Amino acid sequence: MKLRFRKYKYEPGTSPGKDAWILFKKDKLSYISLWFIVLCSIICAAGYLITPDSSPMANLQNLEIACKKPGFKADMIFVKSTRDETETSLLKKMMYGTESQYDMIPVQKADVVNDSLSVVLLLGMPVIYPLDRIQKHQGEVRVHKRYVLGTDRFGRDVLSQIIIGGRVSLSVGLIAVFISLVVGVIMGALGGYFRGWIDEVVMWIINVVWSIPTLLLVIAITFALGRGFWQVFVAVGLTMWVEVARVVRGQILSIREKEYIEAARAMGFSNSRIIRKHVLPNVVSPVIVISAANFASAILIEAGLSFLGIGVQPPTPSWGSMIRDNYGYLILDAAHLAILPGIAIMLMVLAFMLVGNGLRDALDVRRA
């Protein structure tokens, strides 16, 4: 006899998902934090399309304007360089940037003399350039350029560095959380559902990994895999699955004793189907909350690794490496070079923690 089950439909406004979203929106801090994360993600995804410095890794250097304060303005001329001209698609430019065919040179003044441009550089040196090598903007040979967040010790735009560095932090968080979810859910589900010797082996592995300080374990994995962009993703992800596994295991230990699980076994469903269809959907809520907290932890770990010099390597910008390169300026007149990326880390971590707290309260089944 074939059994048929009628799917239950929620009345409008009574869906658990809608109820949770309504409760989440009532928490103003969490709701604002979520939109802050979305806005930052959009800005970082757009990347080189919106950064003032669209060169690869935002690495356009101008030593004449090094260590300038936020709001600094300068007159620039664009002189044709000797680099070969290359065609770049919009998507490729958004992802990797594009090398400019012109060199940007800060000047004090510039005058057109016959077929030449006579300029006085910012350092006071007079230079003459052929006029056909100068790029004009709306008929003008000089462009007024503003550095919203100033420049670093190499004359690079700090705002561009922070935006591209945000890509690293968000990417590390996203991929590390994905890896931790895959490993943690599998390990926790196996241990919690099958119990016995499988649970003992899983718990032994969890306890061993849990006993090692996270940063030391990440450093060890990084040394084993090598220093680089993708190695950091894997290293951080492989150290964050333990908490996911513990929570999933604890949830499944109680769920496996429910009546509907016993009914599924009696109907002859396989263990894999029971886990996928009936067990794991009931542990989604705590896993979502843990993922938000792990996202914040991943950003902090990546910043710590980059600060120590074993994370993302130059010239790729990273918030942690920006602090490392500029923390010596804290006692000088350019403390903003280290403070600004520090504020970026603080705001992003705080936003994810607030979102995690809001999700925890909204998804709490024991709420009144």
* Helical H segments across the chain, by residue range: 16-26, 28-46, 90-96, 158-194, 196-211, 214-225, 229-237, 241-255, 259-266, 271-273, 284-308, 319-326, 336-362
Instruction: Write out the H or E segment, with its range, that includes residue 102.
Output: strand 102-113
Q: How far apart are CA 149 and CA 151, in angstroms?
A: 7
The answer, yes or no, to whether residue 3 has pLDDT greater than 60, is: no
Looking up tokens 């993600």 gives: 41
User: In a 3-state reduction of DSSP, which class is residue 99?
Assistant: coil
The share of the chain scoring above pLDDT 90, in percent, equals 31
Comparing 16-25, 310-319, 332-341, which segment has the lowest mean pLDDT? 16-25
- The residues facing 135 across adjacent strands are 78
207 or 123, higher pLDDT: 207
**In the prediction, which pLDDT does 283 show?**
85
The answer, yes or no, to whether residue 357 has pLDDT greater than 70, is: yes
Q: Indicate the residue type of 209.
A: V
The answer, yes or no, to whether residue 16 has pLDDT greater than 80, is: no
Q: How far apart are CA 205 and CA 208, in angstroms?
A: 5
**In the prediction, which pLDDT does 38 show?**
95
**In the prediction, which pLDDT does 262 show?**
83
Average pLDDT over residues 126-136: 85
What's the pLDDT band for 112 if we cut at 50, 70, 90?
A: confident
pLDDT digits (tens, 9 = 90+) for 33-50: 999 999 999 999 998 999
The share of the chain scoring above pLDDT 70, in percent, equals 93
Residues whose CB is less than 8 angstroms from the CB of residue 219 and which lie 6 or more positions away in sequence, other chains included:
305, 308, 310
**In the prediction, which pLDDT does 15 show?**
54
With the CA atoms of 137, 142, 143 and 147 taken in that order, what torsion angle do they form, in degrees rounded to the nearest 10? 160
Task: Give the residue from 303, 194, 198, 287 showing the smallest Cα distance to 241.
Answer: 287
Residue by residue, DSSP assigns 242-300 as HHHHHHHHHHHHHHTTSHHHHHHHHTT--HHHIIIIIIGGGGHHHHHHHHHHHHHHHHH
| pTM attached to this predicted model | 0.87
What's the pLDDT band for 156 if we cut at 50, 70, 90?
A: very high
What's the pLDDT band for 21 if we cut at 50, 70, 90?
A: confident
DSSP letter, residue 83: S
Under CATH, which number does the domain 16-40+160-362 receive? 1.10.3720.10
φ and ψ of 241, to 5 deg: -80, -15
Positive or negative CA dihedral for 31, 32, 33, 36?
positive
The ranges of the chain annotated as CATH 1.10.3720.10 are 16-40+160-362
CB 318 within 8 Å of CB 168? yes
**In the prediction, which pLDDT does 17 show?**
64
Residues whose CB is less than 8 angstroms from the CB of residue 160 and which lie 6 or more positions away in sequence, other chains included:
51, 52, 53, 54, 58
Average pLDDT over residues 162-176: 92
The tokens describing 317, both together, are 């910008």
User: In a 3-state reduction of DSSP, which class is residue 144?
Assistant: strand
The tokens describing 133, both together, are 């090598």
